[in-house]
Structure 1
């Protein structure tokens, strides 16, 4: 005995008599980092004030309590277990398929390890449950709202006992009490009813399926059911009229008058610059020009530049650029337009000057050679020379 105490003290002379007299309570079972779809841990519920009404607040929570109370052999133990639950003697609760596990503080210093088992459902049972759930659209919506519809839970006639019945809950406790159930197991069952009140997926997990797995399965079955229903319905009939009615001569109502044209073209939106993208100023100029042409077509019925050649239109666009001369800002535009028309920048600059003087006719004067006929011009040449004016060309 002394050797054992010396080993427990670690050779530091620590007094171990106090720890021997007061055994250390086990660690809480709450381990959220270990939780997953098939394991959920719930923190200890706060104490609950005793009331005359039922311990649970939902019909399925009360069904769980009924299964506990109708399968119990001693009402006194149930009453003491209910008192333990109401006073918060149940520590964190862990729920896995077929098992509820927790530590319950009894009359001794060290709490007892309590578990309650419930039979899980087989694959065939889950198939029947899922089929029933997708029969009505409200079932899935109710589950997502943490509600358990009566029609979904009452599947006992189909061999799917979702809710436990009397004797279905199998308790086991580390206490020496051999009651069925003992007061500690009863306390855990009462607290589990409060968990079921808040989330019916706890009951479904006890029966063997996690929330995520169930919702995924319901989503797949719902999509399959909807696709099958759409295929069975076939295509909707197309609307139609009788042939005689369609061919009967009739007077059509007059078209509504056209909307008034806007007083002037609107400004185009601002185009942001992007690496490797088009020049935003060039885009703005093209959009502004297109708006002006559309406005002219709308108000006059003709496009003022619709008959221009490619070269004439390139000169027109370049001439519309504000400013004069080949500045740094216009060189890119001039080079692009000249290249598209198969000319060089110098030719385009001369053409722009002619266009600004006389429009298309000014461009014709620049580019079309003109040999005036003999007559007045021939008689004018010597008179011009006599007046010391420059040679006439």
Structure 2
């Protein structure tokens, strides 16, 4: 049966080529197992096993990494490496430090282990505890555990989120949590100062008061630059952020393309808040951790009278279902009898729940389902008993499918 926490288990049938760790964190992983061993010959045999493809599919869950390793006998041995998962308080402190450190965030988004936090994530000598069903358990690590260690190092080279999962957090949970913490950090930052270059607000420039027959004059243009290469306009003191200008240009281009394609403006009828959410949701999902996108969130929130935290919660709702997803986030209503009443028993029959009903919402201590006016179910999750609901997954007319969907 599929559950909503299947992201805490990953199985790798195809492993990266080679057995020599190429990243510094992959090499640190290998050293953690090799360090306590004084049998170089045994380690060499383990590497040969790994080179010869004796390690089958690798499964990673919080606290352990498991595979069947084929030795000299016909039946493979069940081999695992155990690594203590971090406690909730340790994760809380680590994520707070990561959210406050732009370099650490940048490293994680580049799929690297942040060096500043490596001491709390990577195992030290003796932290990796091997277990194997082979008849030689008295000489850890055995050659089968060594083979698994070398293959796992290549997995970490390719995807450091494997290490995060071993320590207890899935990639999706980790990035979502960091995005929320970044929103909180952005809310505490001071707003940018007013621009120092001449200009008037666009609304004021095109508005013609009833007592005037003409629009007010535009300000004088900026002085011409000296002869030679003209400086980039965004480099002028107080000028707009070049990334924000690029975002506006890209959005205008996308709207123009939509108008040419079907004659409909994608923002027609949107409120100021809804359009701000649409603009923020157009950013790549992982860019919410970057300083430039944090600044964009802060500016959009200020322009709409909302908080960056409100915007951070609204963005995944928009990505979940567009305007309809945002309405589900913000609107409660009383559905008629029928599909809503049948959803609770159907979920219980599938092994989920119990869910308590309230208007168009079904809630459990960890998950919530919301029914839209067009008959789709939207899934939300929260830390247990916190009532802090965040959207995830894809909407579906079937409540079980919506509950077990993942981004």
TM-score range, shorter chain: 0.3 to 0.5
Structure with bigger strand share is: 2
What TM-score comes out, normalization by structure 1 length?
A: 0.47
Calculate the TM-score normalised by the size of structure 2. 0.46
Structure number, greater radius of gyration: 1
